Each structure stands twice: as C-alpha cells, then as structure tokens.
Amino acid sequence: MTWEEMLPLLLESTGQTVQMVLWSTLFTVILGLPLGVALVATDRGGLFPSPALNRVLGLIVNIGRSLPFIVLMIAILPLTRLIVGTTIGTIASVVPLTLGAAPFFARLVETALREVGRDRVQAAQAMGAGRVTIVGKVLLPEAMPGLVAGLTVTVVALISYSAMAGAIGGGGLGDLAIRYGYQRFETTLMIVTVVVLVVVVQLVQTLGDTVARRLARN
C-alpha cells in the first residue's frame, strides 16, 4: 500500500475516532457527573443521605463496570436502535461507548469529590449555605483538578474502547488497524495507525495534565 492509498483511509478513520470520542465524552460527562455526585451525596453522612438509593446507584455502576465493553456493546443493541434508529455506524457506537464509560467516570467523580473532605463542606454549612449551593460552589469547584484528571483517564479509555466499535461498523483507527493491518497483512498501515493512536492519547493526556496542574496550583 502506498502513502497515497493510506492517507485517505487514515484521515477518515481518525475523523471517525475523534467523532466517536468527542460525542461519547460529552454524554459520559452528562450522565456520569450527576451519577458521581449522587454517589457521594446519598452516602451515609452525605448531603442527601439515602442508604437505599446509594446502594442501588452503586449496584448500577458496578454492573456497568463489570461488563466487558464488547459484551456491553452487543447486549444493548436494542437500546441503541431505540435511541439512534440504527445499530451500526459511528453515531450508533456513541451509545455503548457512553454507557461503558459513564459508570467508570462516575466512580472517578466520586473519588475526586471525596477528596474535598468534610471540613470545607461543614464550613459552608456553618455559613448557612444550602445543599445545592454546597454541591455547586464548594464540592465541584474544589474537586476540579481531580475531575479534570478523571476526565482525562476517561477520554483515554474511550479512545481504547472505540477501537472495538469496528465490531458494529463504527469505524475508527482501531477498526482500520484490524481490517487492513491485521486481516490484510498491511504491516506499514498497522504501524502508522498505532503511532497515530499513541500520539492522540499522548496529546489528550498532556492536555489533561496541564489543565489539572494549573487548577491545582491555586
């Protein structure tokens, strides 16, 4: 395969990966952030203590986290059809990617929020702040460096998950490496794909680290 043949394939696959990762990151945050906040808030001694709800949420998160991504992807095909209208393609793969990453991100959010510690929350309570104010003005801003670090790990995990989206026609760099590199013995393309993936992951990690560090310096 010549570079002229490889380039359009690489560009298209990179575009698909970026598209899958961006959309699923967005929905992962929309789903996972409130879930993580809820895990902390409903815990015993939390802002909205509710042990029963806490156990249910914990169970949902654990189920989501224990399913291998490839199994999850197949298992929720009917749900994907319900939401997107189809089960194949790049956009369709956003559904399983989101459902796979949201519980993972929720746990990272939970950890980041617990790092804030009781003293700052109690100080805000002593000032007469309400519970919603405490979540919005104390917990989330104070946990921001940890949240950004967690998001970075999640995006990297999504890039890796997205390689499996080829199984449902999602396309992307992982799919390219399997179809051309592995199945057609295009070793050069395989290596180039891997290099592109490494570079993308490296960029995401560096960006995330920089932002987290800048926030933590305050």
Partner 1 sequence: MIDVSGLRKVYQDRGREVVAVDGVDLHVREGEIFGVLGQSGAGKSTLLRCVNLLERPTSGTVSVAGQELTGLKEGELRRARQRIGMIHQHFALLSSRTVAGNVAFPLEVMGMAKAERVRRTAELLELVGLADKAGAHPAQLSGGQKQRVGIARALAGSPPVLLSDEATSALDPGTTQSILALLKRLNRELGLTILLITHEMHVVKSICDSVAIMRDGVVEESGTIPELISRPGSRLAAELFPLPEPEPGQVTITFTGQAGEPVVSQVVRKFDVDVNILGGALEEVAGLSTGRLRLLVTGDERAAALTYLAGRGLLVEEAR
Reported as type and span, the H/E element at residue 36 is helix 3-41
Q: Which residues of 92-124 are buried (b: 16+ CB within 10 A; e: fewer)?
A: bbbbbbbbbbbbbbbbbbbbbbbebeeeebeeb
Cβ(133)–Cβ(139) under 8 Å?
no
Residue 161 CB, shortest distance to partner 1, in Å, is: 31
Q: Which is nearer to partner 1, 125 or 205 (CB)?
A: 125
DSSP 66: H
Binding residues for partner 1, per CB under 8 A?
119-120, 122-130, 133, 137-138, 141-142, 144, 215, 217-218
Specify the residue, 43 or 186, whose C-beta has the smaller distance to partner 1: 43
Minimum CB separation from partner 1 for residue 88, in Å?
44
**CB closer to partner 1, 52 vs 127:** 127
Closest approach, Cβ 99 to partner 1, in A, equals 31
Q: How many residues does the chain have?
A: 218
> 62 or 141, CB closer to partner 1?
141
Minimum separation from the CB atom of position 94 to partner 1 (A): 32
